[in-house]
Amino acid sequence: MGRLILQGAELVLPAKPLALTQGDPAGIGPELTLRAWLERSARALPAFACIGNIDHLANVSDRLGWSVPLQACGWSDVGAVFTDALPVVPLASAACAVVSGRPDPATAAGTISSINQAVAAVGAGEAAAVVTNPIAKSVLYQAGFKHPGHTEYLAYLAARGGVEPRPVMMLWCEELAVVPVTIHEPLRRVPELLTTALIVETGRIVAAELRSRFGIAAPRLAISGLNPHAGENGTMGHEDGDIVAPAIAQLQAEGIDARGPYPADTMFHARARAGYDAALAMYHDQALIPIKTIAFDEGVNVTLGLPFIRTSPDHGTAFDIAGQGIARPDSLCAALKLAARMAERVLTDTAS
């Protein structure tokens, strides 16, 4: 399974640093960034630079009593700086006052600028991958942000010739990789949104990325049904036979090892997980409940289908605890390590 890339061997670090966005500066992103740097040796983290406001990071560090050394620098200096100080690539936008735990639309320009700069750095070959701290869509919307969310904005930035790539969200931990086919949709809308074409397109992208970025030569996909017992031969709904099964058959015809539809309630125990590399679930909670049960603190959000690597912690801004120094950096650290391994895999495959 894709998790094997972090098992059985020491982490091979990419030659270029990772571009870490600031996220919403009033959330827990700044303190997670500081803690990740403080724990860089103990967690064997790759070199990264935070694209953010160095004064705000310094204020958070001082308020928490961490005294993290910070140094503004360009991308070419990150590797040399990282050993002794947290490298900070300054934001292109104007700084503004930030209070931890108090979201403010005035910070939206900086949040967006940080994302833009990270993508640009990877596109210019200055950074190996994008790792994003959490943002708050509601804050961005108040400032006029027109995109549905973080991932959609990254797809917009990755557009070529006016055509945006189709991003796919995968949640990853060492024990499980799972993809929701429909994501942030009300449950009552899922049956009408779910189509054979959508499942096939998602399966193609997942299989391709498992090969190219996770090094799995012949990915095995387990695909869940929509209804209890995968519809039980139509007695609990016809979607599994009419929509899901034809998608699996089409993926198989294309040479992809896709299996199912399986009842979702029997797909995620340890013995079942050993039989596939990634699971495709039909809706949000069907996918996220198992991985958050298995790895609540260590799960990573990976965006497949983009022309660059993007990982993120699998949690939000947590404004309610921001600035208290109690947020755990486990998921961010896992996201940094996974991004580094994926980047090294791409470089190795390109060189060969």
Ranges of each domain in the chain: 1-167+309-352, 175-294
- End-to-end CA separation in angstroms for the chain: 22
- The sheet carrying 48-52 orders its strands as 70-72, 86-90, 48-52, 18-21, 130-131, 310-313, 300-304, 168-173, 176-180, 278-281, 220-224, 257-262
Tokens linked to 224? 């869940």
Longest dimension (CA), the chain: 63
Beta bridge partners of 130: 19, 310
Q: Are 114 and 52 in contact (CB under 8 A)?
A: yes
Alpha carbon distance 64, 62 (integer Å): 5
In the CATH hierarchy, which top-level class contains the domain 1-167+309-352? alpha beta
In the CATH hierarchy, which top-level class contains the domain 175-294? alpha beta
Tokens linked to 298? 């260590």
Alpha-carbon dihedral of residues 320, 321, 324, 329, nearest 10 degrees? -150
CB burial string 219-257: b at 16+ within 10 A, e below: bbbbbbbbbebbbeeeeebebbbebbbebbebbeeeebe
1-167+309-352 shares its CATH topology with 175-294: yes
Q: How far from 47 is each of 128, 190, 199, CA to CA, in Å?
A: 10, 41, 37
pLDDT, tens digit only, all 352 positions of the chain: 333 344 333 445 678 999 999 999 999 999 999 999 999 999 999 999 999 999 999 999 999 999 899 999 999 999 999 999 999 999 998 888 899 999 999 999 999 999 999 999 999 999 999 999 999 999 999 999 999 889 999 999 999 988 999 999 999 999 999 999 999 899 999 999 999 999 999 999 999 999 999 999 999 999 999 999 998 889 989 999 999 999 999 999 999 999 999 999 999 999 999 999 999 999 999 999 999 999 998 999 999 999 999 999 999 999 999 999 999 999 999 999 999 999 987 544 444 4
